Amino acid sequence: MDAAPVPKLTLSFEVDIEIEHNSFSGKTPEEIADSLQDEIHDMVFELDQVIGMTSSLTAISSND
């Protein structure tokens, strides 16, 4: 007997994150974005309901 299909949802969000950036820290804005993206994925996958996730960096803007 086949298992009953489990209903799934796809949720889409747009989020802007403002961070403090020291240009002398040794990391480029792209490296900082990659690191933050990895941390966000780790946090989201701590939720039991999450079975998959994709994200993409859409822009980096300097707000000097």
Over residues 34-51, the pLDDT tens digits come to: 999 999 999 999 999 999
Rounded Cα distance, 33 and 40, in Å: 10
- pTM recorded for the entire structure: 0.77
> What percent of the chain shows pLDDT beyond 90?
70
Which residue in 32, 43, 37, 46 sits closest to 15, CA to CA? 37
Mean pLDDT, rounded, for 7-11: 92
Rounded Cα distance, 64 and 61, in Å: 9
Whether 52 shows a pLDDT value over 80: the answer reads yes
